[in-house]
Amino acid sequence: MLITELGEFGLIERIKRVLGEKGPGEIVGIGDDTAVLEVSGDKVLLATCDAQIEGQHFLRDQITPRQLGQRAAAINLSDIAAMGGVPRYALASLALPDHLTVEFIEEVYRGMKEFLGRFGANLAGGNLARSLGGIFVDIALLGEVAPELVLLRSRAQPGDRVLVTGTLGNAAAGLQILLGKVNPGDLKVEPLVQAHLTPEPQVRAGQLLAKLRCVTAMIDVSDGLAGDMTHICESSQVGVEIWMDQLPISEVTRRLAEQNGKNPLDWALYGGEDYQLLFTAPPQEVERIISSVRGEIGLEVTPVGGVLKDLREKRLVRRDGVSFPLEAKSWDHFAKSRGQ
Amino acid sequence: MLITELGEFGLIERIKRVLGEKGPGEIVGIGDDTAVLEVSGDKVLLATCDAQIEGQHFLRDQITPRQLGQRAAAINLSDIAAMGGVPRYALASLALPDHLTVEFIEEVYRGMKEFLGRFGANLAGGNLARSLGGIFVDIALLGEVAPELVLLRSRAQPGDRVLVTGTLGNAAAGLQILLGKVNPGDLKVEPLVQAHLTPEPQVRAGQLLAKLRCVTAMIDVSDGLAGDMTHICESSQVGVEIWMDQLPISEVTRRLAEQNGKNPLDWALYGGEDYQLLFTAPPQEVERIISSVRGEIGLEVTPVGGVLKDLREKRLVRRDGVSFPLEAKSWDHFAKSRGQ
């Protein structure tokens, strides 16, 4: 059924059915213009928003509507994760072309609900509008954290180690596959495509890292390690060296790059959209961090560099000691030319 | 300067300059992916979002960028007003075509800041993305209210009066002028155009009405009185009669309609976008409400109907007692045909 046949309020009723009961803390939820929500008075509120725009962030023939909903939720959950926060409430603002089916929209909402629900958050409200162009899914996500646990970008200290969760470059490799720019051959690349389409936000790792009380600065890798590390450097007024050969790149990504004459470091450093956590901590805490995250979440953490004193010093260091400037060649929505 | 020349992060720096210092309660504001905000533990949180989409909600040659920012803020402030709430923090998610100038974007932010600031709210975060179509301005607005003061749509009682602040139909008349569908002749219609472009959110009236503790249900008039009254009826499971001849319509709107062979009631009932407050209260409270709102805010409140017992009874009543069904012929973004 087309959404024009059902109308806005009919569509809201269908969405309400998809979303089911109100979540914990929701006094007034979906269906009203304004959600009424309980907050914990001893916490600070975290608030973030991020949009998925057709043609810009996704292509409709390469992502299912459910994956689109999951992806829109994931990128916002990742921002709350980077603060060590607990995601609680989401508002979804959608602009939709007339010709979409109700079933398509329901799948988008199912995807959002699934990913939010996995981390204890609910869709508490939103907005629907008609789009004269493509699909636009904008989510505002609210979370909470105890004020003493909040992790900022601005407190990295010279001498700290730089660490990252999981692997880097999978999402960029997955995008290259979707765009037909590399040939996977016999490689099992489904996880790479999935890493691009529905990244896994490291919410539990973020919360655990906050509780360890030794992380000095944290950000999620949305723009690429080089770009996001630069954000930490500028906020903290420090420099950095990144150990090129230590970057955690998966075997399949390495092989895909090799078979296609690409450098996997490009994907790891500048690809972006991995949604791993990049953070700094004193060297004496590194072992405890690695074993805690491995033990409690089953996720690897890798030391990939060190924090330097001088903001102007930002470099990549190769095993043989040769170093290169670390350029913030990250995703920039309005740059004249793009590195990707 | 074009935004492509400055890049995303340069643009964020310019926006930071427009917005100035962090507002009260902002621990981390603009520039980070996630805002960190103080909330009052004895309050409930209000959260709403609403978008302004080029070609759908505005035309670029009929609104200045500053007015666009003001309008995007106003429609969200109105949703917080309808809950009796205090607006606090906004997140602005913009999707922008490449060819816009930096000065245009700065003006949009100035407009948002002005309208938010007038009611004590700050722009605490947001997102920028490239749009392949037109301009898209989506605001998520957070507010607070004491839980005992929150005004819902769902508590209207049979026997209550229906009341509305200000006048109805000005915004619809202003839109007709902008679209060239009516000829203003010698009439001074600038206030009507302004009512459409930059509506005045009734935030102070909403807060005052909440404090009077006698309002049973409230909503803002965004879809037109007929449509928004229907929302109250359905949420409260009540019927309504609207006294056609009592609707507060400004003299200039009446004259404009008359000179152009239009019925001003159509604009008042179905035009929408007046962003006045529509609410219900027991009859014995009507005088106190009218004199309080007039005395403290200088705003007129008009009784326009009564709440009935049966949800199926929704009617317009003329002075001579003849009645007509009240159709919810309001703005519906996905309806096949529109009443407007």
In a structure prediction context, what are the per-residue pLDDT tens digits for chain B, which is 340 residues long?
888 888 888 888 888 888 888 888 888 888 788 898 988 888 999 999 999 999 999 999 999 999 999 999 999 999 999 999 999 999 999 999 989 999 999 999 999 999 999 999 999 999 999 998 899 999 999 999 999 999 989 999 999 999 999 999 999 999 999 999 999 999 999 999 999 999 999 999 999 999 999 999 999 999 899 999 999 999 999 999 999 999 999 999 999 999 999 999 999 999 889 999 999 999 999 999 999 999 999 999 999 999 999 999 999 999 999 999 998 665 555 555 333 3
Probe site for chain A from B131, B334, B337 (most A CB atoms < 10 A): B334
Q: Which residues of A touch B45 (CB under 8 A)?
A: 36-39, 45, 142
Distance from CA of residue B270 to its chain's centroid?
15
Report, as an integer, the average pLDDT of A7-22: 86
Q: Does domain B3-145 have CATH number 1.20.140.10?
A: no
**Which residues numbered 247-306 in B keep a CB inside 8 Å of some CB on A?**
none
Probe site for chain B from A46, A333, A336 (most B CB atoms < 10 A): A333
pLDDT at res. A330: 55
Q: Report H helices in chain B.
A: 3-19, 65-81, 102-118, 170-178, 190-197, 203-212, 225-236, 251-259, 264-266, 286-297
Any CB–CB contact under 8 A between A6 and chain B?
yes
- B334, A4: Cβ pair inside 8 Å? yes
- The torsion angles phi and psi of A317, rounded to 5 degrees, stand at -115, 125
Any CB–CB contact under 8 A between A203 and chain B?
no
pLDDT at res. B340: 35
- The torsion angles phi and psi of A209, rounded to 5 degrees, stand at -60, -40
Chain B nearest-CA distance from A44, in A, is: 5
Q: Which residue of A has its CA nearest to B125?
A: A48
pLDDT at res. A120: 93
Q: pLDDT tens digit string along B53-103?
A: 999 999 999 999 999 999 999 999 999 999 999 999 999 999 999 899 999
Quick one: DSSP state of residue A23? P
pLDDT at res. B328: 67
Any CB–CB contact under 8 A between A28 and chain B?
yes
Any CB–CB contact under 8 A between A83 and chain B?
yes
A-B C-beta contacts closer than 8 Å:
236
Report, as an integer, the average pLDDT of A105-124: 95
Any CB–CB contact under 8 A between B126 and chain A?
yes
Is the per-residue pLDDT at A280 higher than 70? yes
Q: pLDDT tens digit string along A179-196?
A: 999 999 999 999 999 999
- Written as one string, the DSSP assignment of A61-114 is TSS-HHHHHHHHHHHHHHHHHTTT-EEEEEEEEEEE-TT-BHHHHHHHHHHHHH
> What is the CATH code for A161-325?
3.90.650.10
Instruction: Give me the helix-helix angle, A203-212 and A286-297, nearest 10°.
Output: 140
pLDDT at res. B20: 87
pLDDT at res. A335: 58
pLDDT at res. B329: 67
- The CATH 3.90.650.10 portion of chain A extends over 161-325
Chain A nearest-CA distance from B187, in A, is: 34
Which of residues B276 and A40 earns the better pLDDT score? B276
- A38, B51: Cβ pair inside 8 Å? no
Is the per-residue pLDDT at A26 higher than 90? no
Q: Which residues of B touch A50 (CB under 8 A)?
A: 33, 93, 127
Q: Is the dihedral of CA A168, A174, A179, A184 positive or negative?
A: positive
Any CB–CB contact under 8 A between B4 and chain A?
yes
Rounded to whole angstroms, the Cα distance separating A190 from A198 reads 12
Any CB–CB contact under 8 A between B91 and chain A?
yes
- B333, A89: Cβ pair inside 8 Å? no
The ipTM is 0.91
Any CB–CB contact under 8 A between B7 and chain A?
yes
Report, as an integer, the average pLDDT of A57-62: 93
pLDDT at res. B132: 87
Confidence of residue A337 (pLDDT cuts 50, 70, 90): very low
Kindly report the average pLDDT of chain A as a whole number. Answer: 92
- A8, B91: Cβ pair inside 8 Å? no
Any CB–CB contact under 8 A between A188 and chain B?
no
- A124, B47: Cβ pair inside 8 Å? yes
Q: Which residues of A touch B235 (CB under 8 A)?
A: 32
- The CATH 3.30.1330.10 portion of chain B extends over 3-145
